[in-house]
Amino acid sequence: METSFHMSLPCLSVEETKNFYINNIGASLGRANENWIDINLFGHQLTFIQAEKFNFNSPNYVFEGKMLPSFHFGVIVDVEKWGELYAKLNNLNLKVVTQTTFLKDQTGEHLSFFIKDSNDYMLEFKSFKDSDDIFKV
């Protein structure tokens, strides 16, 4: 059985969150009601529950000279899907940050970009040069 990841997060607006993930990212809607939604993000389940703004006061960190958010989540996709998403989100004039290649010519080399969703969460999209390197030490 292939496994999927599940993450539940608070959101300020179910409608704005649904709009961001479905209309901008291209995810699909799962179960939902007026207070929460399930989003199918590349086979992974994100549940957003309407709540007050959640405060993440964790500092950023530096990796290979780039300032990155310490709290973020994301999806690993193939390079074709990564390119499609990067182009699509840039064409929508959304603020895409830190588009770069990390660990160039090393184990774990990957393309990466971050984008803020409608709740101010940082979402990362990665594409590994070699998918066997995802967990390689």
6-50 matches 61-133 in fold:
yes
Per-residue pLDDT, 59: 64
61-133 carries CATH number 3.10.180.10: yes
Per-residue pLDDT, 56: 67
In the numeric block, which tokens belong to residue 90? 């840039």
Q: What is the secondary structure of 4-25 as a DSSP string?
A: --EEEEEES-HHHHHHIIIIII
Per-residue pLDDT, 31: 87
* pTM attached to this predicted model: 0.79
Are 47 and 36 in contact by the 8 Å Cβ rule? The answer is yes
Per-residue pLDDT, 62: 77
> In the structure, what pLDDT confidence band is assigned to residue 15 with cuts at 50, 70 and 90?
very high
Which CATH code for domain 6-50?
Answer: 3.10.180.10
Per-residue pLDDT, 58: 62
Per-residue pLDDT, 137: 66
- The domain locations on the chain are 6-50, 61-133
Are 28 and 22 in contact by the 8 Å Cβ rule? The answer is yes
In the numeric block, which tokens belong to residue 98? 């830190």
pLDDT tens for each residue of 69-96: 777 888 999 999 999 999 999 999 888 8
